[in-house]
Amino acid sequence: MSDVAITTLLMFALFALLGSGVWIGLTLAGVAWIGMQLFSSRPAGDAMAITVWGSASSWTLTALPLFIWMGEILFRTKLSESMFRGLAPWVSRLPGRLLHTNVIGCTIFAAVSGSSAATCATIGKMTLPELGKRGYPDDITIGSLAGAGTLGLLIPPSIIMIVYGVSADVSIARLFVAGIIPGVVLAGLFSGYLMIWTALNRDRVPPPDRHMSFGEKVYESRHLIPVVVLIAAVLGSIYAGVATATEAAAVGVVGSLLLSAVQRSLTWQTFRDSLMGATRLYCMIALILSGAAFLTLSMGYIGLPRHLAEFVTSLGLSPFLLIVALAVFYVILGCFLDGISMVVLTMGVILPTVTAAKLDLIWFGIFIVIVVEMAQITPPVGFNLFVLQGMTGKEITWIGKVTFPFFLLMCLMVLLLWWFPQLATWLPSKM
């Protein structure tokens, strides 16, 4: 059977199962099963079990449940409310006002967490209820959260950079540093879009609170102290060499519990609720991750991503067209696979072409991170969309729709990166 026919059949199976309301994790496993049974010489069952176990017990993932738990604890403290009180006076002149909290929150939290799902879940747990309470509309708050959550990958530390660094044989330390400026620029694009959106939708943003003098603003900022202390503790534990980036999540949980105790919101009830809430949210993601791991294995056996990558590299394109083609390739792949799988499955084929085109591998790494970020928010398989569906109960198609402008902003970011490669290469060259 040709690749086109296999792809068509699998896509049909995917959309049929998803569309008829089969649970997403099971759908992915089902499509993987069909693909492997029909189009590979290996039986699917035992391979599925080995792979699912390997991915579910993989140590690199342990930060995810812990950060989710941290979010559930913080959600039950007064932390988010006080964070908003502290931030409000400073953003009151900015068009969009508190809408920027998602972007600011994700940018800061991205410096703590290496995963986009964890960033999205932790910040969303705090901002979504507060923004809703203050009358900000759902579509823009959820969209901006899904978009900004992806910054978890671009701003160091970042799991995907480690995976790319190992595959491409480039310095992970340099990659981390290279991500900082593009991360801040992308956050700026998100904020800029929020301002434009506000200008066009004035009536949809609640009116500002009363005007404050500078002194009052500074005084109100005292409410930011708990958040700043918590983030400083987590970041500090990484940079002081106390914890690795993955272990820092545990520092975050302990810090949140302490904070919760200090604020007197820690009771047996809130502890139990946060624990069970986190276990369920993590479990929901874990089922999808299991399905995705099996789908990756199945794709590895069938060889679809590899063949597609071989096709792209066989075109003999100019560097610019190569990047455009790769962007399209990864966006398509990203609709169905998660970021890490995409990198692992394709790097062996893509890298020689990239090297031959004399593209800087650090620069290319940042490019890859941005296209993987895009994959996080494209349906049907987009992890930030899943996290947000789990948290808000909104339909995934709707979340995909409200997130689309942020997808376009990331496309713009890729172009900026092409026109100004120094965005990625300047900082590492100073090391």
Partner 1 sequence: MRRILDWLYDAAAWLAALAMIGVLLMVLLSIVSRQLGFNVPGTDAYAGYSMAAAGFLALAHTLKKNEHIRVTLLLGRLRGRGLRVLQMWALSAAVLLAALFAFYSVRLAWQSYALNDISTGNDATPLWIPQITMALGTVVLLIAFVDEWLLHLRARQPRTVPGEALHNE
Partner 2 sequence: QTKWDLPAAYPATNFHSVNLEQFAKDVDKATGGKLKITVHANASLYKAPEIKRAVQQGQAQIGEILLVNFQNEWQIFGADGLPFLADSYDESMRLYKAQKPFLEKKLGEQGMMLLYAVAWPPQGIYTKRTLNSAADMKGLKWRAYSPATARIAELVGAQPVTVQAAELSQAMATGVVDSYMSSGSTGYDSKTYEHIKNWYDTQAWLPKNAVIVNKAAFNALDKGTQDALLKAGAEAEARGWEASKAENTRTQNLLKQNGMNIITPPAQLKADMKKVGDTMLKEWLDKAGPEGKALVDAYRK
**Footprint of partner 1 on 302-341 (CB under 8 A):** none
* Candidates 3-11, 83-91, 253-261, 347-355; binding stretch for partner 2 (CB under 8 A): 347-355
* Candidates 53-61, 201-209, 318-326, 417-425; binding stretch for partner 1 (CB under 8 A): 53-61
Binding site partner of 319, from partner 2, Na ion, partner 1, none, Cβ cut-off 5-8 A by kind: none
Residue 82 or 158 with smaller CB distance to Na ion: 158
- Is position 37 an interface residue for partner 1 (rule: CB under 8 A)? no
Q: Is 267 helix (H, G, I), strand (E, B) or coil?
A: coil
Residue 104 or 249 with smaller CB distance to partner 2: 249
How far is the C-alpha of 339 from the C-alpha of 145, rounded, in Å?
19
Which residue has tokens 């296999």? Answer: 6
Work out how close the CB of 33 gets to partner 1 at its nearest, in angstroms, rounded to a whole number.
7
How far is the C-alpha of 99 from the C-alpha of 137, rounded, in Å?
9
* 164 contacts: CB under 8 Å, gap ≥ 6: 170, 175, 343, 347, 365, 368, 369
Binding site partner of 62, from partner 1, partner 2, Na ion, none, Cβ cut-off 5-8 A by kind: partner 1
- Distance, C-alpha 421 to centroid of its chain: 23
- Is position 166 an interface residue for partner 2 (rule: CB under 8 A)? yes
Residue 211 or 280 with smaller CB distance to partner 1: 280
- Is position 258 an interface residue for partner 1 (rule: CB under 8 A)? no
* Residue 150: φ, ψ to 5°: -65, -15
Q: Give the angle subtended at the CA of 225 by the CAs of 219 and 227, to the nearest 5°.
A: 135
Residue 302 near residue 9, CB atoms below 8 Å:
no
**Footprint of Na ion on 105-164 (CB under 5 A):** 110, 114, 152, 155, 158
Residue 100 near residue 194, CB atoms below 8 Å:
yes
- Is position 238 an interface residue for partner 2 (rule: CB under 8 A)? yes
- DSSP 8-state secondary structure symbol assigned to residue 59: G
Applying CB under 8 A, among 128, 278, 351, 369 the residue interacting with partner 1 is: 278
**Footprint of Na ion on 307-346 (CB under 5 A):** 334-335
Applying CB under 8 A, among 165, 365, 382, 400 the residue interacting with partner 2 is: 165
For 59-65, the CB contacts below 8 A with 24+ separation are 59/246, 60/159, 60/246, 61/289, 62/246, 62/249, 63/113, 63/114, 63/115, 63/118, 63/245, 63/246, 63/247, 63/248, 63/249, 64/115, 64/117, 64/118, 64/249, 64/282, 64/285, 65/278, 65/279, 65/282
Residue 65 or 143 with smaller CB distance to partner 2: 65
Q: Is 93 helix (H, G, I), strand (E, B) or coil?
A: coil
Residue 370 near residue 183, CB atoms below 8 Å:
no
Q: Which amino acid is at 290?
A: S
Binding site partner of 110, from partner 1, partner 2, Na ion, none, Cβ cut-off 5-8 A by kind: Na ion
**Footprint of partner 1 on 223-252 (CB under 8 A):** 237, 242-243, 246-247, 249-251
- Is position 51 an interface residue for partner 2 (rule: CB under 8 A)? yes
Work out how close the CB of 315 gets to Na ion at its nearest, in angstroms, rounded to a whole number.
24
Applying CB under 8 A, among 69, 176, 197, 383 the residue interacting with partner 2 is: 176
- Is position 52 an interface residue for partner 1 (rule: CB under 8 A)? yes
Cis status of the peptide bond prior to 380, with omega within 30 of 0: yes
How far is the C-alpha of 200 from the C-alpha of 383, rounded, in Å?
30
Work out how close the CB of 257 gets to partner 1 at its nearest, in angstroms, rounded to a whole number.
10
Residue 340 or 351 with smaller CB distance to partner 1: 340
Binding residues vs partner 1 (CB under 8 A): 17-27, 29-30, 33, 45-46, 48-50, 52-53, 56-59, 61-62, 65-66, 69, 237, 242-243, 246-247, 249-251, 253-254, 275-276, 278-284, 286-288, 290, 380, 386, 389-390, 393-398
What is the contact surface with partner 2 in residues (CB under 8 A)? 41-43, 46-47, 50-51, 54, 58-60, 157, 159, 162-163, 165-169, 171-173, 176, 238-246, 297, 300-301, 303, 344-345, 347-348, 351
